[in-house]
Structure 1
Amino acid sequence: MALTNGSSLQSIYRKFKPQLLMVLVQIGYTFLYFIAEASFNHGMNPHVYITYRHIVGGVLMLPFAYFLERKVRPKLTVALMLEIFVLSLLGVGLTLNMYFASLRYTSPTFVASMVNTIASLTFVIAVVLRLEVLDIRHPRGMAKVLGTLISLAGAMTMTLYKGSLVRNLWQPLIRIDQGSAATHENWLKGSLLTVASCITWSIWYIMQAFTLKRYPAQLSLTAWMSFIGGAQSAVFTVIIEHKRAAWTIGFNIDFWSTIYGGIVVSGLIVFIQLWCTEERGPVFVTVFNPLSTILVAILGYFVLGEKLYMGSILGAIIVILGLYMLLWGKDGDQQAVHSNSQEQTYLTSKEQKENNKLILPSALKEGSQCEP
């Protein structure tokens, strides 16, 4: 009985492994939000943080990539290296620097609402490039469309609609210093940077699917993107930041946020996302993004004592509903692939049997002619 329960749990884990991993990814991003916010309020330059974070991530992943993928890692060509350079630019050097730069000119609420559109943008691009199977005549195809739209509506509700304030039940367990840095508002410039970062982020997810077909070594690709992206970010930071003091960090929250961001986010999370992209596609990975918004709101309310509005609760419910619908539609894709695989295996086996039937009488006939 225990053996049966163990095997059933194993089969459930194998079936829902990508979903579980992506939930863990969003939990990792949630903690990153708070520790990075504390570091920025302490005075750390966001662009320096991006550079150091990815260097740490590259150093972490390098030994694993070198030893574990020696036999499966394809040979690097000039064309493939150029492709990884562009992939690193889209995922790190360009996107993240534009994202953090946009925070200086707009508000975190606006940026959060725009970032939650990445899943919808990725879905549209994937459908256009035929990376995503979409048949709106089928219930599961319609579920993917409606799930994406509902999830987007829920994320926008969380960030743009407040509603009544939910009263705090107790004093905050942790307080984060908000700092004294003033925000220089320039909504036009900030909006353009935010929109551009969301578009490049979506293209980055899509491009991963193509690169992984030519370079199916997730650990090595993670290490390459960290090192190249960190170098690109360093060049960008040197251009806009002329103070040497900005590159100096002490053994404080700046150091720990860099270590956490490098090991957990630039290392482990990027590797998990690459694996899930290869298994389920880029749309599957991005559709989980609004979960971090929900987790940030919950953790901020219960632990940090931040304000929580009914709009956030309503938006969270809508996001979960949309996410469930889209994952149900995506599960139909996996079932279709499995059915096609079984059908192909059956047809191949049937063809082999037919060939054997044809070969066997001929062989017997030839054998009978050879007899004295």
Structure 2
Amino acid sequence: MKKSIYIMALGAFGIITTEFGVIGILPKLVKQFHISIDTAGWLLSAFALTVALAGPFTNMLTAKMNRKTIMCLVLGIFVISNLLSAVAPNFTVLMIARILPAFLHPVFWAVSMTAASKQAGPKDAPKAIAIVMAGLSVATVLGVPLTTYVADLFSWRASFVVSALINLLAFGALAFFVPSMPVNEADASPKSQVKILGRLHIWVKLLTATIILAGMFATYGYLAEYLDKVSHMSGVQISMMLLVFGGTGIIGNWLTGIALSKNILVTSRLFLLALVVMHALAYQFGGLFIPMVIILSVWGLVHTGGFLVANLLVIDGIHGTALDFVNSLLPSFFNAGITVGTLLGGFVIAHYGIHQVIWMTIPLLLLSFGLSFIKENAKHKIIEKATEEIAEPEPVQVAVCE
């Protein structure tokens, strides 16, 4: 069981490295294909937008497929995508190669989360989900500096080859060491699961998570360009700073997990305020090398917990088959946030310059902070109403049976 879950975590590392690894090489792609930075940003935005739009449909279309088979299929397509990206002769081909695997990206996420939970059993399900999520977290903090370093050492094409090798390794491990996972017909039916969408507070949660991701990526999606143009760092220095960002992020993800286990709402609000402060400091001292190194270290410590914060904000209080359904929706809303964030960030850069992109992030983070209070007040009323509606018929049913 543990081996299978860690292999799925490796698969998560591979697909997230593919998605976000392009962030560190955007400046090189701008020079290679003679395009603007906001146009290059579509390599991230289009990927995320495809995930957001395709997620609910691809999950339904593949609901009855063997879970192992579909995960292998996803990883195989990611290998092909990265290899096509590595040999892309122009930006159009590169864009098509990037979009190709995005259609099945949410399938792997939903399937791996649910499969890990079921394999571990109810008692150890949270621990199993955390392991799979660790693959995502590590990819967000190490995948970008890894591909950036490889691109700087060899070429941007080599960075895609590295991503392909990671996905190939996960594919092989999954194919040879993970047992078959046939689908239970009852689990494949979405009828009972979609009922949760009738609860308003779920939509408030999903909206809050989307805005959190938008705020995070409005600036983070162009971090390499920010360090290049504002901080005047070289390619090697940018790679090292992204590595520092990622290294402190691993520690931050662990600390965020501990804090969230104590109080999800308070930790989430503190996270948002801390991230606002870090962006304000980056704007103020972005042109100074030493202060920026310190800021990036703390920024990475805070930033990486964002996925965990957004995830737990949404699934807090959800159980049973509804949890599986919500897990299948998360990639769509997360990537919708990434799409919105990178598009807004690209707009600001194109019209006002890279330094001003910070002022797109801060309002989004403050908006999600405000929504957390609305959610708290509305949540209890809606739950109480839903509980009353569900609870009232039960005594009548029992009485009739008696």
Shorter chain as denominator, the TM-score bin is 0.3 to 0.5
Q: Of the two, which has the highest radius of gyration?
A: 1
What TM-score do you get using the length of structure 2 for normalisation?
A: 0.33
Which of the two has greater helix per residue? 2
What TM-score do you get using the length of structure 1 for normalisation?
A: 0.35
Report which structure shows greater RCO (CA 8 Å, sep ≥6).
1
